[in-house]
């Protein structure tokens, strides 16, 4: 019986990355799209606890140098899961807006080795209902007088974005790769522990 219990606890580490990702995605989706979502402070604290708790459980169950790499994969994978949930649920509405003005502001480079100088563009918009009123990007999206489709969150929890540019697929794919790597590390540790213990 004790051996069976140990084996269950080892396999817990294998299913942990996928289960944690599902829980984190569900929590963020509920916050961004739920009809009775919690206040922002509660949502952020709850998400941070989910990520930290999953990482702590992974380290305890997997252990060793593999556990260190695995928990890094898990942590980044869960943060990318948050990004994917944000991009999938946060901008549910699309408005066709007219560009009324375009302002460019140069952001200087910060010394050698820093990011290069770039221009940030702020478009003043006239949209049905008056929101969104502006859109920021690192490239000129449209000229004055042109129309642009803008995806936005009606509850204004995140900033608007050009339609089609907040797709979650890239973040979701990267999260999947990292979570799979964390799962594989845990699986190998479970397998080696089983061989060592003679199970």
Q: Can you count the helices (H) and strands (E) in the chain?
A: 4, 5
pLDDT of residue 65: 74
Q: Over range 72-88, report the average pLDDT.
A: 91
Would the pTM count as exceeding 0.75? no
- Looking at the structure, tell me whether residues 154 and 180 fall in a common domain: no
- Burial code (b: 16+ CB inside 10 Å, e: under 16) for 71-82 equals bebbbbbbbbbb
Residues 79 and 104 in one domain: no
Tens-place pLDDT, residues 117-175:
778 889 999 999 899 999 988 888 899 999 999 998 887 877 888 887 767 888 899 99
Residues 28, 107: one domain? no
Residues 22-50: tens digit of each pLDDT = 999 999 988 887 777 788 889 899 999 99
Percent of the chain with pLDDT over 70: 84
For the chain, how far is it from start to end, CA to CA, in angstroms?
Answer: 12
For the chain, how many structural domains are there in total? 2
Same domain assignment for residues 99 and 133: yes
Q: Which domain holds residue 73?
A: 2-90+167-197
Domain shared by 113 and 130, yes or no? yes
Do residues 56 and 18 both lie within one domain?
yes
Both 175 and 83 in one domain: the answer is: yes
- Kindly state whether residues 156 and 173 are assigned to the same domain: no
Residues 10 and 49 in one domain: yes
Same structural domain, 142 and 173 = no
Domain match, 76 and 112 both: no
Sheet containing 93-107: order of strands: 134-137, 118-126, 93-107, 147-152, 161-162
Q: Are residues 15 and 82 in the same domain?
A: yes
């Amino acid at each position: 019986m004790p051996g069976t219990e140990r084996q269950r606890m080892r396999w817990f580490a294998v299913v942990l990355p996928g289960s944690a990702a599902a829980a984190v995605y569900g929590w963020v989706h509920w916050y961004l799209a739920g009809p009775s979502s919690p206040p922002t402070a509660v949502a952020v604290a709850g998400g941070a606890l989910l990520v930290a708790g999953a990482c702590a459980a992974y380290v305890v169950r997997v252990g060793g140098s593999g556990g260190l790499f695995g928990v890094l994969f898990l942590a980044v994978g869960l943060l990318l899961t948050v990004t994917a949930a944000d991009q999938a649920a946060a901008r549910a509405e699309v408005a066709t807006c007219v560009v009324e003005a375009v302002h460019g502001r140069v952001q200087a480079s910060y010394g050698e080795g820093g990011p290069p100088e770039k221009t940030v563009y702020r478009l003043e918009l006239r949209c049905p209902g008056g929101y969104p009123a502006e859109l920021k990007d690192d490239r000129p999206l449209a000229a004055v007088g042109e129309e642009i489709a803008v995806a936005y969150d009606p509850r204004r929890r995140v900033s608007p974005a050009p339609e089609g540019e907040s797709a979650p697929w890239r973040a979701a794919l990267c999260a999947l790769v990292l979570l799979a790597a964390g799962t594989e590390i845990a699986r190998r540790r479970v397998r080696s522990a089983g061989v060592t213990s003679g199970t």
